[in-house]
Amino acid sequence: MSAAATEDIDLFEKAKSLVGPDYTPSDDEEYMNDKQQAYFQLLLIEWKRSIHTAADQTLQSLADGPMREADLNDRASSETDWGIELRTRDRQRKLVSKIDSALRRIEQGEYGFCEVTGDPIGLRRLIARPVATMTVEAQEAHERREKVSRDN
């Protein structure tokens, strides 16, 4: 097992002991307290684990050998399916780096705060998108600037 995987397991167990089985972050608590950070750490580690499991399944399917379809239409359909599957795995590979970055931000005490404004991102946004690095407003402004520069 790799050192990173062992570290993730250790973080997972530590976070799990802090959070408990029925915990959900609430606006009634202090923002990004230890329990909330542990909750998001659990969420991110589980997400990363599920991505790795799906990638392993894809690799196993590829290793089992190519499908030889007799019909050209069936073969084309299978190849299209594999193309979609591989693109999905590539997007998830990029997502793993964002998850790792979010886990580092938790360790550094920066998680949950906008990288642009420094304001709290908000629990609802983080629950919906745990790798978010900006508030909704900052993200919208960023996307508007991006669109304007693309249009020029």
Q: What is the pLDDT of residues 72-126, one digit of tens each?
A: 777 777 778 778 877 887 888 889 999 999 999 999 999 999 999 999 999 999 9
Query: Is residue 151 pLDDT above 70, yes or no?
Result: yes
What residue segments make up the domains of the chain, in order of their start? 3-111, 114-152
pTM: 0.74
pLDDT of residue 68: 66
**How far is residue 87's CA from residue 28's CA, in Å, rounded to a whole number?**
41
H-assigned helices in the chain: 3-19, 34-63, 72-108, 123-128, 136-151
Average model confidence (pLDDT) for the chain? Answer: 84
**How far is residue 140's CA from residue 10's CA, in Å, rounded to a whole number?**
36
Structure confidence by residue, pLDDT tens digits, 51-73: 888 888 877 776 666 666 677 77
Q: Which fold has domain 3-111?
A: Four Helix Bundle (Hemerythrin (Met), subunit A) (1.20.120)
